[in-house]
Amino acid sequence: MSKIKYPVIVVAQDLREGHVVFVGSQGLTRDWREAVVAATPEAGEALLARARIDEAANSIVGAELVEVEQRAEGIRPIHYRERFRVYGFGRQDSAFTDAAE
Amino acid sequence: MYRYDEFDHAFVQTRVAQFREQVEARLAGQLTEEEFRPLRLMNGLYLQLHAYMLRIAIPYGTLSARQMRQLAFITDRFDRGSAHFTTRQNLQLNWPKLIETPDILAALAEVEMHGIQTSGNCIRNVTSDQYAGVAADEIEDPRPTGELIRQWSTDHPEFSFLPRKFKIAVTGAAMDRAAVAAHDIGIRVVRNDAGEVGYRIYVGGGLGRTPMLARLVREFLPKDDLIAYLEAIMRVYNLFGRRDNKYKARVKILMHEAGTETVKRMVEEEFARLPRAAINVDPAELARIEAYFAPPAYEALGDEPALLAAARQADAGFDAFARANVVAHKQPGYAIVNISLKPIGGAPGDATSAQMRAVADLSERYGFGEIRVTHAQNLVLPDVRQRDLPALYRELLAAGLGDANAGLITDIIACPGMDYCSLATARSIPIAKAIAQRFANPARQQLIGELGIKISGCINACGHHHLGGIGILGLEKGGEESYQITLGGDPGNDAAIGKLLGPGLAGDDVPDAIERIVDLYLAGREAGETFVAAYRRLGHDHFKGALNADRH
């Protein structure tokens, strides 16, 4: 991956069922609104380290940092691919309107 | 239809048991994800953008009613009530859970199905003509050949770790409906001057980032030598195919870099060295396989019953259906019926469990309980009595399967794209929906006539965009989805790779551009000329202006 720009969240998938999960303040969450946002490289690494514990416990797979921006209504992933993934299937099921809007 | 023998049953059951153990080992932490990934992929289980995806093989696109009902059951029990038929005649479940996948595989094994070799660098599910065995233009049913290849290639120890994936298609008809030129090996059943039936063998076709059409390597191969000759091709590829660069690892690149004549020579030398008698199939075994594909007990009927003509006259919708979706059958009084999985506004190739059950029921009431899956992501009932067509049409309509658009502009092929796929660079399904809605008017579709639009959501080209009369490739450009349009692709006898029309467009602008291309075609075509025929005569530049309003 090219150089990461902050802030970021951690996105992964549940090993047993496959659904997308986020690292939240109370542990893993399926709700992107509860995802912890890391504003610095140090905070990002700490967030990823928490996800690595869940990976090591065989609870999730593929944990990675996803770049986001902070908006009044909440976070918005920078890349459209991650917007589809974070906001969830069906949110993009219209023609070419922004999934976040 | 072919039925598993004891060996087949034992093999599939063993693989189900193995995968159950592998999943348990993964959940217990005895296998890392890195160790587990190739094991799940060997059974067709991917991890996609939102969920796992299970790819189920449908060998040479043939399903029984019983299998279709089981697929419907699995779709309800383990997924969200619908599934997706693909361009490789497979079925994909979009929402299976890892913990339930062993149970899904066990349910598949009950009806002689599996996901083995639907992923990985091995010989994949063999594909064929969806009209195999019933086509009026057929030399010989290609399915026994397909089944022979399935048995030979399944778990073949020498060819389980090839440089890259390997796809084989076989057709027995005069018209290529299996896109054999786009496969690593394309096989055509042919008859030589002496009247003998054999095979014409092509090698090195493939789409993806470097699209190439297969080249002829053997004009006529005696039928008995098929397996030895395929082994010779596979050995040459396995030894000399590149493993240093995955983008140059397909056999098409070997053909391109070494040259057709060199590869042909190496294959023939290997073929001469092989102990053919030991490798080729025992004629008794081939006869056993062929017996499974014997024609069903057709009634002695006449063509074009009066009832049919009257129904066409009385119902314009049925007349349109008969024109677009019904194809000539080799047996008088019978017809081949295409069931469109391309409703306006729907995702191409998707079927609900209720529709799957409906098709299973209809295949028994209006046929011999057999269904075909097409590479165009539709279904086929292969043996319908012509006199039953009006009643069948009414039942299809009731099941939401009566769209009269087979082969027309709204019969769009599209990969799952970024709605599901982790490899995708852009969405495919919303583009397909938007184009279909734009051309929804049935009369307009009929006016335009035969036109294949094919959409891929990334360079891997699962949507066969290179072979579309109009091809659409979704890419990323400047952080947004961008769609390139190609023209002139053709999957058939005069196979051609489409040519890029110009710079990419924003998704919202694609329907307008397609409409301008169609208008240029309609303005320039001669009577009876299809889009691709007109494109070849008019030339690429005739269509250049279609993009001008929409540069992205």
Closest partner CB to B47 (pick from A13, A57, A88): A13
Dump pLDDT digits (tens) for B314-334: 999 999 999 999 999 999 999
Strands lying side by side in the sheet with B370-373: B62-64, B370-373, B379-385, B334-339, B326-328
CATH number of the domain enclosing B51: 3.90.480.20
Q: Cα–Cα–Cα angle for B404, B408, B409, nearest 5°?
A: 120
Residue type at position B260: T
Is residue A57 assigned to a domain? Answer: yes
Beta-carbon contacts of residue B53 (< 8 Å; ≥ 6 apart)? B45, B46, B47, B92, B93, B94, B96, B420
Is residue B21 assigned to a domain? Answer: yes
- By the 8 A CB rule, do B415 and B462 touch? yes
Quote the CA–CA distance of A64 and A81 in Å, as a whole number: 14
Please tell me the total count of domains within chain B: 4
B438 or A89, which is more confident? B438
Beta-carbon contacts of residue B422 (< 8 Å; ≥ 6 apart)? B46, B47, B48, B49
| Long-range contacts of B74-82, Cβ-Cβ distance < 8 Å, separation of 24 or more | B74/B104, B74/B107, B74/B108, B75/B352, B75/B353, B75/B356, B76/B353, B77/B107, B78/B103, B78/B104, B78/B107, B81/B352, B81/B353, B81/B354, B82/B350, B82/B351, B82/B352, B82/B353
Closest partner CB to A96 (pick from B26, B49, B508): B508
CATH number of the domain enclosing B240: 3.30.413.10
- If you measure CA to CA, which chain A residue comes closest to B431? A95
Same domain? B370 vs B434: no
Structure tokens at B351: 């079927």
CA distances in angstroms from B396 to B64, B310, B361, listed in the order given = 18, 19, 11
The answer to whether A89 contacts B99, with C-beta atoms less than 8 Å apart, is no
Is residue B445 assigned to a domain? Answer: yes
Dump pLDDT digits (tens) for B150-173: 999 999 999 999 999 999 999 999
The answer to whether B479 contacts A61, with C-beta atoms less than 8 Å apart, is no
Is residue A53 assigned to a domain? Answer: yes
Is residue B147 assigned to a domain? Answer: yes
CA distances in angstroms from B281 to A30, B229, B351, listed in the order given = 54, 12, 38
pLDDT of B48:
98
Same domain? B366 vs B441: no
- Convert B320-381 into a string of H (helix), E (strand) and C (coil): HHHHHHEEEECCCCEEEEEECCCCCCCCCCEEEHHHHHHHHHHHHHCCCCEEEECCCCCEEE
Same domain? B366 vs B279: no
- If you measure CA to CA, which chain B residue comes closest to A88? B50
Is residue A96 assigned to a domain? Answer: no
Say if residue B106 is exposed, middle or buried (CB neighbours under 10 Å; 0-12, 13-18, 19+): middle
- If you measure CA to CA, which chain B residue comes closest to A62? B33
Please tell me the total count of domains within chain A: 1
Q: What is the DSSP string of B444-466?
A: HHHHH-S--EEEESSTT-TT-GG
Same domain? B420 vs B388: no
What residue has token string 């990976």?
A55
In chain A, what residues touch B28 (CB-CB under 8 Å)? Answer: 58
- Flag whether pLDDT at B55 surpasses 60: yes
Q: What is the DSSP string of B31-79?
A: S-HHHHHHHHHTTTEEE-SSSEEEEE--GGGEEEHHHHHHHHHHHHHHS
- By the 8 A CB rule, do B50 and A12 touch? no
Quote the CA–CA distance of B413 and B491 in Å, as a whole number: 12
In chain B, what residues touch A20 (CB-CB under 8 Å)? Answer: 50
Neighbours of B186 (CB within 10 A): 28
Q: Cα–Cα–Cα angle for B130, B134, B135, nearest 5°?
A: 75
- By the 8 A CB rule, do B413 and B455 touch? yes
In chain A, what residues touch B424 (CB-CB under 8 Å)? Answer: 81
The answer to whether A95 contacts B99, with C-beta atoms less than 8 Å apart, is no
In chain A, what residues touch B427 (CB-CB under 8 Å)? Answer: 92
pLDDT of B549:
64
Residue B166 DSSP code? B
- If you measure CA to CA, which chain A residue comes closest to B434? A95
- By the 8 A CB rule, do B90 and B165 touch? no
Instruction: State the average pLDDT over residues B24-45.
Output: 97
Same domain? B161 vs B217: yes
The percentage of chain B sitting over the pLDDT mark of 70, rounded to a whole number, equals 99
Quote the CA–CA distance of B139 and B495 in Å, as a whole number: 20
Say if residue B400 is exposed, middle or buried (CB neighbours under 10 Å; 0-12, 13-18, 19+): middle
Chain A residues whose C-beta sits inside 8 Å of any chain B C-beta: 13, 15-20, 55, 57-58, 61-62, 78-81, 84-85, 88-89, 92-96
Quote the CA–CA distance of B457 and B463 in Å, as a whole number: 8
Which residues does residue A68 pair with via DSSP β-bridges, in sequence order? A77
Is residue A14 assigned to a domain? Answer: yes
Is residue A101 assigned to a domain? Answer: no
Beta-carbon contacts of residue A100 (< 8 Å; ≥ 6 apart)? A76, A83, A87
CA distances in angstroms from B5 to A69, B38, B251, B290, listed in the order given = 59, 28, 33, 14
Is residue A56 assigned to a domain? Answer: yes
**Owning domain of residue A28:** 8-87
Same domain? B376 vs B229: no
Quote the CA–CA distance of B547 and B470 in Å, as a whole number: 13
The answer to whether B97 contacts A17, with C-beta atoms less than 8 Å apart, is yes
The answer to whether A96 contacts B96, with C-beta atoms less than 8 Å apart, is no
Beta-carbon contacts of residue B257 (< 8 Å; ≥ 6 apart)? B248
Same domain? B286 vs B145: yes
Is residue B119 assigned to a domain? Answer: no
**Owning domain of residue B322:** 306-398
Closest partner CB to B27 (pick from A16, A94, A95): A16
The answer to whether B419 contacts A17, with C-beta atoms less than 8 Å apart, is no
pLDDT of B552:
47
Is residue B522 assigned to a domain? Answer: yes
- By the 8 A CB rule, do B127 and B491 touch? no
Is this complex scored with an ipTM above 0.90? yes
pLDDT of B151:
95
Helix, strand or coil for residue B89?
coil
Report residue B304's pLDDT band, with 50, 70 and 90 as the boundaries.
Answer: confident
Same domain? B376 vs B465: no
- If you measure CA to CA, which chain A residue comes closest to B52? A18
Quote the CA–CA distance of B346 and B82 in Å, as a whole number: 12
In chain A, what residues touch B33 (CB-CB under 8 Å)? Answer: 15, 55, 61-62
The answer to whether the peptide bond before residue B275 is cis (omega within 30 degrees of 0) is: no
Same domain? B106 vs B37: yes
Neighbours of B3 (CB within 10 A): 9
Dump pLDDT digits (tens) for B64-103: 999 999 999 999 999 999 999 999 999 999 999 999 999 9
pLDDT of B548:
76
Quote the CA–CA distance of B98 and A47 in Å, as a whole number: 26
The answer to whether B418 contacts A81, with C-beta atoms less than 8 Å apart, is yes
Closest partner CB to A84 (pick from B47, B99, B418): B418
Closest partner CB to A95 (pick from B50, B425, B508): B508
Average pLDDT, chain B: 96
Dump pLDDT digits (tens) for B351-406: 999 999 999 999 999 999 999 999 999 999 999 999 999 999 999 999 999 999 99
Same domain? B145 vs B260: yes
- Flag whether pLDDT at A32 surpasses 60: yes
Is residue A67 assigned to a domain? Answer: yes
Report residue B421's pLDDT band, with 50, 70 and 90 as the boundaries.
Answer: very high
